Amino acid sequence: MPLDHRRLRGPEESQPPALWAATAAEDEEDEEGAGAAPRDPCALRPLFARAGLLSQAQGSAYVELGSGTKVLCAAWGPREAAEPGPGRLLCEFRRAPFAGRGARGRPGAAAEREAEREAAAALREALEPAVRLGRYPRARLAVSALLLQDGGSALAAAVSAAALALADAGVEMYDLAVGCALCRPPAPAASWMLQPAEPEERRAAARLTLALLPALNQVSAVLGGGRGGPPEDWAQALRLGLDGCHRQYPVLRQSLLRAAQRRDAAAAT
């Protein structure tokens, strides 16, 4: 009997894929929990930032954290608004379908949209004090953040990327808004941890995201909640977050300066 080359002949003995689903999930949990060396809670993860990489937007920025978080932001404006009054800042936060790790813990469509709306509102709260909206009467400024990969501290990375994108678009600002995330593990007497990864955030008893204007030493937003302990512990978390923002600030400023140099070099040629 001639072989049918249009078909792929499977093995004579095989197992259904569902047999290995539970084992894969258990292996993933083991990789995240056991075997991970404890890290310094005051240590910042490596930060990469680049401004001015999208030609379709007036301003853009890309921020990546060492935990695997990747955020791409674009900014436009000012554009004329129909309603009178001072300038308005419109913020959008979207999560790419492939941003998470697999389907585990993936919320439904309604819950995901609600989470994106809350993140967009938090983004606007963190950025508005940094933008000189009084310079743009009857105008709209827009910034859109796309979370490409969620490795933890996603909102903090989006704040930094969105501020870079607005500055790259030439929007007048008082200062760059720098975001920093913290979490407190559920273990008793555990200390706060800077820039938690996604597994650390998922197991945390309390989480905090801080936005700071470092040149003015002004906090633009404090977002968080959970069982963080007495007020002294929250004060400690704020001090740790402020220090983390100040340490990230030179990297963001340098990326903005390099984008301006690339733009001037392109205009000269």
Residue 222, strand partner residues:
210
Q: What was the pLDDT predicted at 101?
A: 63
Q: What was the pLDDT predicted at 22?
A: 44
Task: Note the pLDDT tens digit of each residue in 59-73.
Answer: 999 999 988 899 999
Alpha carbon distance 129, 107 (integer Å): 32
Looking up tokens 């695997």 gives 68
What radius of gyration, in Å, describes the C-alpha atoms of the chain? 22
Alpha carbon distance 201, 193 (integer Å): 10
Question: What is the token pair recorded at 189?
Answer: 């007497």
Q: Which residues form the domain of 175?
A: 41-268
Domain annotation covers residue 23: no
Domain annotation covers residue 175: yes
Domain annotation covers residue 34: no
Count of CB atoms situated within 10 Å of the CB of 85: 9
Domain annotation covers residue 53: yes
- As for how many domains the chain has, the answer is 1
Average pLDDT over the chain, rounded to an integer: 82
Q: What was the pLDDT predicted at 234?
A: 85
At 32, give phi and psi (nearest 5°): -75, -35
CA angle 2, 13, 24 (to 5 degrees): 130
Domain annotation covers residue 205: yes
Least confident of 52-61, 102-111, 143-152, 240-249: 102-111
Q: How far is CA 162 from CA 120, 143, 186, in A?
A: 11, 7, 31
204: Cβ contacts below 8 Å, ≥ 6 apart? 183, 184, 185, 186, 196, 226
Domain annotation covers residue 151: yes
Global pTM value: 0.82
Alpha carbon distance 236, 146 (integer Å): 31
Task: Note the pLDDT tens digit of each residue in 17-51.
Answer: 554 444 444 444 444 444 455 678 788 889 999 99
What's the CATH number where 101 sits?
Answer: 3.30.230.70
What percentage of the chain reaches a pLDDT higher than 70?
A: 82
DSSP E strands in the chain: the ranges are 47-51, 59-65, 70-80, 88-95, 139-149, 178-184, 193-194, 206-213, 218-226
Domain annotation covers residue 16: no
Residue 51's Cβ-side half-sphere holds a number of Cα atoms within 13 Å equal to 28
Domain annotation covers residue 4: no
β-pairing verdict for 206-213 and 193-194:
unpaired
**What one-character-per-residue DSSP string does 110-174 give?**
HHHHHHHHHHHHHHHHHHGGGB-GGGSTTEEEEEEEEEEE-SS-HHHHHHHHHHHHHHHTT--BS
**229 band by pLDDT with thresholds 50, 70 and 90:** confident
